[in-house]
Structure 1
Amino acid sequence: MNNKLLNDTISSIKEQNLDVLNIVVRQDGNIIAKHDFVEEKPILLWSVSKTFTSMGVGIAISEGYFKINDHIIDFFPEIPQGKINEYTKKITIHDLLCMGSGHTECPIEKADWSNGNTHDICQLFFDEPVVFEPGIHFTYDNSATYMLSKIIKITTGTSLDEYLDKKIFQYLNIPKPKWDTCPNGIPQGFSGLHLTADQLSRFGQLILDKGVWKDKQLIPTRYIEQATSVQIETSDFNPYFATEDHHQGYGYQIWMNSYPNSYRMDGLYGNYVVMLPDKNAVITYVSNEQQNMTGVLELTWNTLVDKL
């Protein structure tokens, strides 16, 4: 363990007053440095959850439950065909994975989360106008990820959290984690997963190693190669917090980074898993930074990457 590796990172965190909770640095398969500003405990990972949903999809595809180019309308025969336009009929699993459903905004923005009363997200998804040809235009769409969670339940008969517990978490020696569900019992998919920084770093290692853990192939290598490469352009994605790291393209619920040949899991408030194949390294941040979350990611480029 070389915790001196994190000296500059820790200094920068203090100087910027960033609310980072835990950092774990892995290289060549081992933890080489870590720092806890607070004691590790399972924490809500927000949109980092999306990458777990994606890997569940990859496993389900490999097991023959559905195909990457299947049209999602075929999983929902209860949706009246008369209400579905031609673009909606074209949306595939691939389009959901890469946030290319064709919506101009996320339908979940219209959900009522007060008092536990929510709209049916599936219905919101199909009610939202599909303006763009699917697979062409990137819109950060939480409902797309939810739909993937629901499709896993429909096809496998097992909820996403149970499915990943059997297929991944048990092998990583992670007790079945909490995953927040919608009122219908479907795990949110787009958020809701609770893990510790150490547990999260193991999952990052699994992805860096193309789905292999202790010589066992848990996730298909080919799927991870697709998930960690650009499937849709994000140059037009410009929320107030956007940096160059938001304009490098998006894979299957994974972002590409401005640092060459690297990618990340990305969650609200500075929760990140940065995977650096050229360094054979994984850097995990668990944070609650509500003012400057991209500042947490940029610690990687400003204080860490050149030391690896």
Structure 2
Amino acid sequence: MNNKLLNDLIVSVKSQNLQVLNVLVRQEGQIIAKHDFEEEKPAPLWSVSKTFTSMAVGIAISEGYFKMNDPVIDFFPDIPNVYLNEFLIKMTIHDLLCMGTGHAECPVAKADWGSDTSWDISQLFFEEPVIFEPGTHFTYNNSATYMLSKIISKTTGTNLDDYLDKRIFQQLDIPKPKWDTCPKGIPQGFAGLYLTAEQLSRFGQLILDQGVWQGKQLIPSSYIKQATSVQIQTKDFTPDFATADHQQGYGYHIWMNSYPNSYRMDGLYGQYVVMLPDKNAVVTYISNEPHNMTGVLELTWNTLIDKL
């Protein structure tokens, strides 16, 4: 390995006091550099979990469980009529994947994570008014991913974690990981998955390689091409932390980067898997950075990209 590749990155982490725990670089399919600021162990991936849910959807579509343009309400026949409007009726699997549900706010913000386990995020999802034409307005929406997790359970008869264990984790030689559940036992989908940096980097390699691992097609390449392409614009996504890397568009639970022809998985506190097709490289970060998450991502552009 060429760990000197990371010298400038390490200096920048320390000078900015960024709480990066592990960084790992793959190129041409091999680990070429790695540095552990702290001992590597399974860590919460936060919203990086969403990309795993997305890939489960791509597999499930290929296996015939449902279709990209299936209406969401078809999977929930007991929705009270009071929630139905023309936009909710139009909402599809595609709209869940690209965060184009038509909600103005994320319904999970109203979730009560206390001891009561009788509630369900899907109820919050349908209670939240759908005020935009589906597919036209980006709202970062944890409940959209949860709904996909629930649809996986409803259609396959297998929870998301078990579904991916057979089709992805076992294939990548990763022991079945922990995945936190919501009330009623459904894996969160939008968060809750735990992996090490090295394990996570294998998944990034799988996506970079269009779903092929050791010669076996695990995820349809056609789905990955869609997932890693702009499906909805994000120019109006302007929270306080937003940078150019949040304005390039969103695929199927994958962000486009400001660096041309690249994309990433993106999680709270600085969890990133940056996929760089033009460099045939994957850069994986596990962090616990509460204040400057985008600073972790920008280490790629400021200290690493020109050396690959």
TM-score by structure 1 length? 0.99
* Residue in structure 2 matched with residue 291 of structure 1 by the alignment: 291
* Residue in structure 1 matched with residue 54 of structure 2 by the alignment: 54
* Residue in structure 1 matched with residue 282 of structure 2 by the alignment: 282
Contact preservation (8 Å) 2:197, 2:285 = yes
Deviation at 1:116, TM superposition (A): 5.8
Contact preservation (8 Å) 1:111, 1:118 = no
Alignment of 1:142-291 (within 5 A): 142-291=142-291
- Structure 1: give runs of 5+ residues left out of the alignment: none
Deviations 1:231-258 (A, max 9, x none): 0000000111000000000000000000
* Residue in structure 2 matched with residue 305 of structure 1 by the alignment: 305
- Inter-CA distance 118–258: structure 2 relative to 1 (3 Å threshold): farther
Contact preservation (8 Å) 1:112, 1:118 = no
RMSD of aligned alpha carbons: 0.8
Deviation at 1:120, TM superposition (A): 1.3
- Inter-CA distance 61–290: structure 2 relative to 1 (3 Å threshold): same
Alignment of 1:68-147 (within 5 A): 68-115=68-115, 117=117, 119-147=119-147
Quote the sequence identity (%): 77
Which amino acid counterpart does residue 298 of structure 1 have in structure 2? Answer: E
Distance in 2 separating the partners of 1:82 and 1:179: 34
Distance in 2 separating the partners of 1:116 and 1:174: 33
Distance in 2 separating the partners of 1:90 and 1:121: 20
Distance in 1 separating the partners of 2:109 and 2:146: 13
* Residue in structure 1 matched with residue 39 of structure 2 by the alignment: 39
Distance in 1 separating the partners of 2:82 and 2:117: 28
- Structure 2: give runs of 5+ residues left out of the alignment: none
Distance in 2 separating the partners of 1:4 and 1:117: 50
Secondary structure of the 2:183 match is: coil
Deviation at 1:301, TM superposition (A): 0.2
Deviation at 1:117, TM superposition (A): 4.7
Distance in 2 separating the partners of 1:38 and 1:261: 31
Distance in 2 separating the partners of 1:116 and 1:31: 45
Segments of 4+ moved more than 4 angstroms: none
Distance in 2 separating the partners of 1:66 and 1:228: 21
Contact preservation (8 Å) 2:117, 2:184 = no
Deviation at 1:119, TM superposition (A): 3.3
Secondary structure of the 1:165 match is: helix
Contact preservation (8 Å) 1:102, 1:133 = yes
Deviation at 1:225, TM superposition (A): 0.1
